[in-house]
Chain A
Amino acid sequence: MARNKPKLAVWKFSSCDGCQLSLIDCEDELLAITEEVRISYFLEATRKVEKGPYDVSLVEGSITTPHDIKAIRDVRKQSKVLVTIGACATAGGIQALRNFRNVKEYIQCVYAHPEYIDTLTTSTAVSDHVPVDFELRGCPIDKHQLLEVLNATLNGRKPNIPHHSQCIECKQNNVVCRMVATGTPCLGPVTQAGCGTLCPRHDRGCYGCFGPMETPNTAALAAHLKELGASGRDVQRLFRSFNANAEAFRKESESHG
């Protein structure tokens, strides 16, 4: 049965474009995607722009300006399904570090003409502003997970995206625990799986790129990290990276320093 090709739009807010690149990075699958969807709005890939409404919108980036707030409401109005992609769109991104500081002071220090800067004092997730149908985590997102979300959406099924810990993925992939076998600090037990075990596979602890897992016991992990020799400041820095504004990580970071 031939389907009408759904219209796909890809939007960018405050971000580094890395997650949009993950879509272009689907080299082997890219032609298959274009056979199944009509790319109607994707400025990073094509100048051709088609008017909405769109069947599926992928949204990258966080909300950091008054203009962003208006724009994301407009995207929501034009989209049947809105999927946010990446740590910026799902948690505020690395730029959410501003949430812990006085942004006005930053602007005074950095810009020659601070009066040109029109920004919010916070960087926040898209879901803080409009209803979101699915949040795809990661900094950047994993292309296989992106394909799975598109695939599930096109085929009318639930995406196979687990919300459990990174540890389960490490064990399934036969990667030896860095924290237990070498004492390396690791956020894996409180971080959602999905990256493909990138860091532990290369003798690195997990940096938490995929944000908090479904039931993160950050306090238990923080206590253990301190037993391994981390200072309060170390623990705070670990929780304050790409997902610093994700609630569980933010709260844990605020109790150390």
Chain B
Amino acid sequence: MPGVDASITTAVVFDRGGLDALIAALKAKGFHVVGPRVADDAVVYADLDAASDLPAGWGDEQEGGRYRLTRRKDGALFGYTSGVQGWKRHLYPPRQKLFAARRDGQGFAILPPDPPAAPLALIGVRACELAAIAKQAKVFGDRDFADPGYQGRLASAFVVAVECGEAGGTCFCAAMGTGPAVETGFDIKMVEVIDKARHVFVATAGSAAGAKVLDGLKAPAAAEADKAAAAARVAKAAKQAKTLDAKAAARLKEHPDHARWDDVARRCMTCGNCTMVCPTCFCTTVEDTTDLKGEHAERWRNWDSCFTIDFSYIHGGAIRTEVKSRYRQWITHKLSTWHDQFGSSGCVGCGRCITWCPVGIDITAEATAITEGARKAAAGGSKKAATSGGKGR
């Protein structure tokens, strides 16, 4: 399990050969190694056999509703922003079998569960993604009913984090306080350093398991110059064009009747892409299946979205029939009521919901328009308006 309290060991440095050795060592330990690779015109997180599978020389351009792979001149292996979908689909798969049963007389018998899959080694986890994993770990474990599936997969996982060297067009992790520096939740942390003389990875361990794997690589200690170069890269990634006033956004729940909800409802297609690519969205629906004879049944948990009609269906009908009520539910929970439920914002600032919204609806722009507008109205209006809109900032 990724260390939380483990002390940071001495930084070591290795080249691409060392990275190959790292992947080989994890495979030898029985890990199912997953990391970034190019497929279908994008960087996705998929099975890795060797460092040669990594997206060498690929970067990306991202903006609202638009993603393009780009070629980089520096040959960076981790020069892209982030994968299309986060690690959610590996730690919390889109379809999970909860149990299978067969008819047994008048009742039924539960069949033994499938054997657990091989533990995961995640290569190239970004700071915002570590924050997302931690938020989902809280959702799935920090309360009365822990989810054994998620917790089991996370506990057995080996996490290799890679700090960002530059921000993508829709990144705002700096505003959400989740990145770009990697601080916790990893077994090994790496920074890719490229200049005229070298292309190396400066790595530190964050857990006993990580230290053991790093020791096995027998890599030399990083020089001060390597560490300084690594720090400079992360500082560059903190410069982000997009931002969000997270404190103001936390007050979104105070504005359920803002006119902007109607405005965004005209643009929103309720397609659900934002919730699918969001690394913290966790909602699922339960589906029962049967065979034709009615002798065998299975219960499955499938990813669901608060943008579907069935999501808010209770006896008698769906509650959120209007587009605006569904968009409002999603963004208000993400940025505002998540605080009440889990003690933090539900957004990590990865920007996926902006990039992969087909029409480019921007969570930062919508939240700002609603909270700023309300603040201005409160500042310029009567005291009565100020109380309904909160005290502002």
Which residues of A are at the interface with B, using a C-beta cutoff of 8 A? Answer: 29, 32-33, 35-36, 147-148, 150-152, 154-155, 157, 160, 162-165, 167-168, 171-177, 179-183, 186, 188-190, 203, 213-217, 219-221, 223-224
Contact = CB atoms under 8 A, between A and B. Distances in A.
B40 to A, nearest CB: 4
Contacts of B291: 32, 151
A134 to B, nearest CB: 16
B341 interface: no
B294 A167 contact: no
B67 interface: yes
Contact of B287 (A36, A154, A160): A160
Contact of B292 (A33, A213, A219, A220): A33
A155 B294 CA distance: 6
B292 A36 contact: yes
A164 B266 CA distance: 18
Interface stretch (B1-9, B207-215, B242-250, B354-362): B354-362
Contacts of B356: 177, 180
A214 B289 contact: no
B44 interface: yes
Nearest to A165: B271
Contacts of A217: 266, 268-270, 323
B66 interface: yes
A89 to B, nearest CB: 23
A176 B42 contact: yes
A180 B277 CA distance: 13
A29 B269 contact: no
Q: Which of B44, B95, B359 has the most CB of A within 10 A?
A: B359
Given A164-B308, A168-B308, A203-B40, A220 B273 contact: no
Contacts of A150: 292
A57 to B, nearest CB: 18
A225 B241 CA distance: 27
Interface residues of B, number: 46
Interface string B37-72: 001111010000000000000000000011111000
Contact of B270 (A33, A154, A157, A165): A165
Contacts of B308: 162-164, 168, 214
Nearest to B40: A176
A37 to B, nearest CB: 9
Q: Which of B44, B277, B292 has the most CB of A within 10 A?
A: B292
Contact of B40 (A148, A175, A179, A186): A175
A212 to B, nearest CB: 12
A177 B358 contact: yes
Contacts of A179: 65, 358
A224 B294 contact: no
Contact of A221 (B41, B67, B85, B358): B358
Interface in B298-312: 302-303, 305, 307-310
B264 to A, nearest CB: 10
Contacts of A152: 290
Given A168-B308, A176-B42, A160 B289 contact: yes
Given A188-B271, A215-B321, 11 more contacts: A29-B292, A32-B292, A32-B293, A151-B289, A157-B288, A164-B308, A176-B40, A177-B84, A181-B42, A217-B269, A221-B269
